[in-house]
Amino acid sequence: MEKSTQNFLSVIENHKGIIYKVAGLYTKDSEDRKDLAQEIIFQLWRSFEQYDEQYKRSTWIYRIALNVSISFYRKKKRRETISHPLSGEVFSVHEEESSQHEDVKLLQQFIKELKELDRAIIILTLDGNSQKETAEILGLTETNVSTRVGRIKTILKKKFETVKNQ
């Protein structure tokens, strides 16, 4: 196996959570999630040799994953956007999603209801990226990210409160 392929496999292994989460939060069902995860990995491989080392590896992955997801989300016939369909799935899930904690499911649902850009901001923030990193990944100013994070968190809190008070 070539060195670059080995490196790529270990990058995917180390950042599988980012790809799986982003793919899940920009798709409606598991079939679309599977296709999107595959497309993200294909685009990562396509750009792998051109990786610019001035950025963190995670910044590079977030940018590609979010750009591919936003474009994928816009398409009506999503399957047609897949460059090269695979026979199997890029990720195996050992536990059913139905076993997820109720609050996790609610948070995922509320995030999916946000607009595409707000969705990206909250994913990056909750993943622990600083406002500077989030701004760098998205191409926004730090002030803008800060303002938007506050607004999005308020929206999510309100949605939780509404559900909990029912």
Partner 1 sequence: MNTIDLNQIWQNQEEELNQSISVNREQILEITRMKVSSALAKAKPIKWFAIGFGILWVLFIYSLIIHFLSMEYIFFIISAGIHSVLTNIAIGIYIYHLVMINKIDNSRSVAEVQERLASLQSTTLMVNRLMFVQLPVFATFYLTPAWLQQMSNGRLLFVFGNIAIFAAAGLWFFFNIKKENMHKRWFRFLFNSQEWTSIEKANDIVDQLGEKNV
- Interaction residues for partner 1, span 55-94 (CB under 8 A): 60, 63-64, 66-68, 70-71, 74-77, 80, 83-84, 86, 88-94
Q: What angle do CA 60, 120, 138 make, to 5 degrees?
A: 50
Q: What angle do CA 135, 24, 144 make, to 5 degrees?
A: 20
User: Which of 28, 30, 31, 46 is close enough to bind partner 1 by CB under 8 A?
Assistant: 46
Write down the residue that tokens 């760098």 correspond to: 136
- What 130-137 contacts at long range (C-beta under 8 Å, 24+ apart), as own/partner pairs, is 133/56, 133/59, 136/55, 136/59, 137/59, 137/62, 137/63, 137/66
Question: Interface with partner 1 includes 9 (CB under 8 A)?
Answer: yes
Query: Cβ 44 to partner 1, closest distance in Å?
Result: 9
Query: Cβ 78 to partner 1, closest distance in Å?
Result: 12
Question: Interface with partner 1 includes 38 (CB under 8 A)?
Answer: yes
Instruction: Give the footprint of partner 1 on residues 92-111 (CB under 8 A).
Output: 92-95, 100-101, 103-104, 107-108
The structure tokens listed for 158 are: 């309100």
Spatial CA neighbour of 133 closest among 115, 114, 120: 120
Question: Interface with partner 1 includes 117 (CB under 8 A)?
Answer: yes
Taking the least distance from each CB to partner 1, the nearer of 32 and 108 is 108
Instruction: Give the footprint of partner 1 on residues 124-163 (CB under 8 A).
Output: 126-127, 136-141, 143-144, 147, 153, 156-157, 160-161
